[in-house]
């Protein structure tokens, strides 16, 4: 499955919203419900994609009203993400830390840092919540690196880079190919932290289709290969918005990566465990999964062997 193309209209919409949150944040915050409704009304491609995703995630019993509420909810949280990104591009780490309301699994997480024996930590997450406050939290323990893809929306990329610079987060773009992967391997070898997203395959990444919500969704194999190659601990980390507008975080138990990830990665227990966690998190708060593009293949989750690997990464 190809990475979804960004249309001219999408670039313009996102850039306009980011400029608004950057220049008149108070006004934008107040009129956000109106902007969400207008986006839903005037962006038919997003609307239809969200309805398709909603039918799959919510199940066949979801009526049109529920599907519309789901789609409006996703658009609302996308604007919350943009607002939070602008805040992070201006705030110091201590200010961002105040945005985190609750952290679950913190005791075990501290033990991972104390008992690493110079092993690196790979923090695997999904497109939900805000990365920057989480990065501010993690950077209190060790240097934080992020493996990411340069965004084709220049305004978004500029603001995101500004935020990471303030936080001291070290970025490595997958666009740079093997160079980026070698850099993060070296960071893990020094016992540092690398954050990755594991719910969307990006150009240059290996992907395998796996069962999720009764369909097939492509999951990146790279994070698991990286954990295995560097003997790093892979820790799923999720963050989400609470009703009070602040953030909650959850550190799950580490996933041990064993077995052959080259011949049949979709059958690997580590990848299956990750898919279980991702599906459960999205099912619990579907409106917070920041995805406005179709990501599914097929009508039934039958097979995970597609032979669709795109790189050695």
pLDDT tens track for 214-224:
999 999 999 99
Average pLDDT over residues 201-209: 82
Average pLDDT over the chain reads: 89
The closest alpha carbon to 158, from 18, 20, 24, 21, belongs to 18
So what's the pLDDT on residue 204?
A: 66
Higher pLDDT, 105 or 301: 105
Average pLDDT over residues 226-246: 95
Q: Residue 260 pLDDT > 70, yes or no?
A: yes
Q: Residue 258 pLDDT > 80, yes or no?
A: yes
SS3 61: coil
Q: Residue 308 — pLDDT band, cuts 50, 70, 90?
A: very low
Higher pLDDT, 137 or 301: 137
Check: CB of residue 288 under 8 Å from CB of residue 242. no
So what's the pLDDT on residue 6?
A: 58
So what's the pLDDT on residue 31?
A: 97
Q: Going by C-beta distance under 8 Å and a sequence separation of 6 or more, which residues neighbour residue 246?
A: 99, 100, 101
Give the separation between CA 6 and CA 153, rounded to whole angstroms: 8
| Domain locations in the chain as residue ranges | 8-297
Q: Residue 117 — pLDDT band, cuts 50, 70, 90?
A: low
pLDDT tens-digit map of 61-116? 999 999 999 999 999 999 999 999 999 999 999 999 999 999 998 777 777 767 66
Check: CB of residue 68 under 8 Å from CB of residue 58. no
pTM, rounded to two decimals:
0.89
Average pLDDT over residues 34-42: 94
């Amino acid at each position: 499955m190809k990475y979804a193309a960004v249309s001219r209209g999408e670039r313009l919409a996102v850039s306009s919203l980011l400029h608004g949150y950057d220049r008149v944040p108070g006004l934008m915050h107040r009129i956000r419900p109106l902007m969400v409704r207008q986006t839903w009304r005037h962006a038919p491609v997003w609307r239809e994609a969200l309805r398709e995703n909603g039918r799959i995630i919510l199940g066949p019993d979801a009526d049109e009203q529920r599907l519309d509420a789901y789609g409006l909810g996703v658009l609302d949280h996308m604007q919350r993400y943009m607002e939070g990104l602008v805040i992070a591009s201006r705030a110091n780490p201590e200010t961002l830390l105040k945005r985190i309301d609750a952290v679950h699994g913190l005791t075990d997480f501290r033990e991972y840092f104390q008992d690493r024996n110079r092993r690196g930590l790979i923090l695997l997450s999904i497109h939900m919540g805000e990365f920057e406050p989480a990065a501010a939290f993690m950077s209190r323990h060790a240097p934080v690196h992020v493996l990411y893809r340069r965004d084709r929306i220049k305004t978004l990329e500029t603001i995101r880079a500004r935020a990471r610079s303030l936080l001291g987060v070290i970025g490595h773009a997958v666009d740079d190919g093997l160079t980026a992967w070698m850099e993060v391997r070296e960071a893990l070898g020094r016992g540092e932290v690398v954050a990755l997203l594991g719910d969307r395959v990006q150009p240059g990444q290996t992907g395998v289709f796996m069962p999720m919500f009764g369909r097939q969704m492509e999951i990146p194999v790279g994070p698991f290969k990286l954990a295995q190659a560097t003997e790093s601990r892979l820790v799923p980390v999720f963050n989400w918005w609470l009703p009070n507008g602040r953030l909650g975080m959850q550190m799950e138990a580490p996933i041990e990566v064993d077995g052959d990830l080259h011949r049949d990665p979709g059958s690997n227990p580590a990848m299956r465990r990750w898919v279980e966690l991702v599906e459960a998190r999205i099912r619990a708060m579907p409106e917070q999964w920041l995805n406005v593009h179709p990501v599914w293949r097929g009508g039934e989750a039958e097979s995970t062997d597609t032979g669709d690997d795109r790189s050695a990464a």
